[in-house]
Amino acid sequence: MRSRQLDDYKSQRWNDGDSFHVLLPDQKEVVFRIYFVDTPEEERVYADRIAEQAAYFGISADAVLEVGKEASEFTRRALAKPFTIYTRWRRALGRSANWRYYAIIVTADGHDLNELLVSNGLARIYGTRTPLPDSGDSQTYLAHLPRVGEQSEDSEARCMGQSAPMREVRSYHFVIAVWRAQR
């Protein structure tokens, strides 16, 4: 597995809880989309997705937008600390003109960003399957995620838009680890 240092998380209007921009040392901007979860939208542009998410969470379309904003802020704070990006450089679908690449994110504290989002009621389990960096099976991982959400006493409160506190840190340090599926 190869690793390399990156320079900066790039704040963008279209960053949200499950995708974000990173500026590489050569100033190339790359967008990453996390595997396995979907956070609520925070813009009314995607009415069809908002309706799906409202049905999933059992909340109104307006509440979806509020939870979407909370998920974006939660992820932004998690990415303000050093974190690791695991990617196979597989393109993620999306409506953006910029290519997005699927990734798994591990925070500086060693926590899986997917688990943090699900346990705080800020994401639904959603998306494609892939071999994991530790050679684990994504079906087993996906079966594990609902239990993470059930274990959180606050998950229902979170999907109603109540904030999960995170400490603000002004460190911007990233490591990309590229993994290849074992055949």
Residue 6 has pLDDT above 60, yes or no: no
Interval 49-107: pLDDT, tens: 899 999 988 999 999 999 999 999 999 998 887 788 888 888 988 777 778 999 988 88
Cβ 9 vs Cβ 42: under 8 Å? no
Q: If residue 84 lies in a helix (H) or strand (E), which one and from where to where? A: strand 83-87
Mean pLDDT confidence for 7-28: 73
Interval 115-147: pLDDT, tens: 999 999 999 988 777 878 777 778 888 888 888
What pLDDT shows up at residue 9?
A: 57
Residue 151 has pLDDT above 60, yes or no: yes
CA distances from 32 to 56, 88, 101 (A): 24, 11, 5
**Domains present along the chain, CATH in parentheses:** 2-178 (2.40.50.90)
